[in-house]
Amino acid sequence: MRALRDIASETVLLDNLPDGKVEALLRPVFPDVIYMNNPSPVGFADNVNRASKACAGKHLLILNPDTVYQSGSIAGAIDYLEQYADIALLGCRLMNDDGSIQQNYRRFPTLPVILSRGLGADHWPWQPHFYRWRMMLDATFDRPTPVDWVFGAFMLVRRSWFDAVGGMDPNFNLYYEDVDLCYRLRARGLKTVFYPELQFGHRHLRGSARKPLGKAWRWHVRSAYRILRKHGYLLRPPVELGHTDVRAPQTDGQSDGASFVALRSPIRERRDSGAHLSFDRRTGSLLSVAPSALRAQLARLRLRTGVACRSRST
């Protein structure tokens, strides 16, 4: 795969369902893969944390199953991240299926913005200034730029800081776990940066919007409530963009091995509660794209791009 050119990787596959069918299917073809099974299905954030503990390295790349590499260099993004001690996390440019730019960077959400979105503000013929400003609808960047948060569809994060803040919060079953991670990093004085020199396609499904009052919608509402309650604000987030010089925590015990992790989703909606991660031996970085052969085998279980879609309710 182009995104992993010149990168040697070790593969770890985490099955979010306990029946072991993925391992039984794939082990004869991929005997070198490290297989993990959850005893019971868990949410996206919890799966990311579990997968990351099976890997050792300096960086983690959290990548959604509905993404496709288009252009740029993951190694270049890692090199950029390594130049600045106060940057903890990078997001790449995401593109929609029709070739338009996906607005995958935003300011931290507030109650008025959350309510407006719930009322369909994305489709209003006129949107208030506060909404457009906080959603950053009029902002386009052609160079690396600090932002409040980026979509969890692509997050390249320093492993040391991911561990220091406790990883993703598993209390977010789905949605807002990416906002929360960026918020907690910002509270440590660290930056999240939009990095447009690396580009992936992303089929933004928004399952909660397609089925009001469904399971995904209820998860979205609970997570929106939790993000505001957890961080104690309604109208203005206490943390703001800054330029603090921060010393990265120690990385003793982290190897320069490589790991790829795929997670299988138990959710009936096509929104997947999974993530896949891979790791670069050369740079000591955890990356995440499935080899095409592995992807073809996963498709036999109706898996999509490294995350299973053979679903059942939790």
| Per-residue pLDDT tens over the stretch 129-164 | 999 999 999 998 999 999 999 999 999 999 999 999
Q: Is the pTM of this model over 0.85?
A: no
Greatest Cα-to-Cα distance within the chain, rounded to the nearest angstrom: 57
Other C-beta atoms within 10 Å of 100: how many? 8
Closest CA relative to residue 87, chosen from 2, 152, 157, 151: 157
| Nearest alpha-carbon partner for 185 in 308, 47, 88, 293 | 88
Q: Dihedral through CA 193, CA 195, CA 200, CA 205, nearest 10?
A: 30
3-state secondary structure of 151: coil
Judge whether 57 and 284 are in contact, CB under 8 Å: yes
How far is the C-alpha of 187 from the C-alpha of 165, rounded, in Å?
10
Q: Would you say 212 and 164 are in contact if contact means Cβ atoms under 8 Å apart?
A: no
Cα angle value 268/178/208 (rounded, 5°): 35
- Using CA atoms, how far apart are residues 56 and 261, in angstroms rounded to an integer? 12
What is the rounded distance in angstroms from the CA atom of residue 283 to the CA atom of residue 20?
32
pLDDT tens-digit map of 224-247: 999 999 999 999 998 865 433 444
Confidence of residue 59 (pLDDT cuts 50, 70, 90): confident
Residue ranges covered by each domain of the chain? 2-308
- CA 158 to CA 233: how far, in whole Å? 27
What's the topology of domain 2-308? Spore Coat Polysaccharide Biosynthesis Protein SpsA; Chain A (3.90.550)
The tens digit of pLDDT for each residue in 11-41 reads 667 777 878 788 889 899 988 777 888 888 8
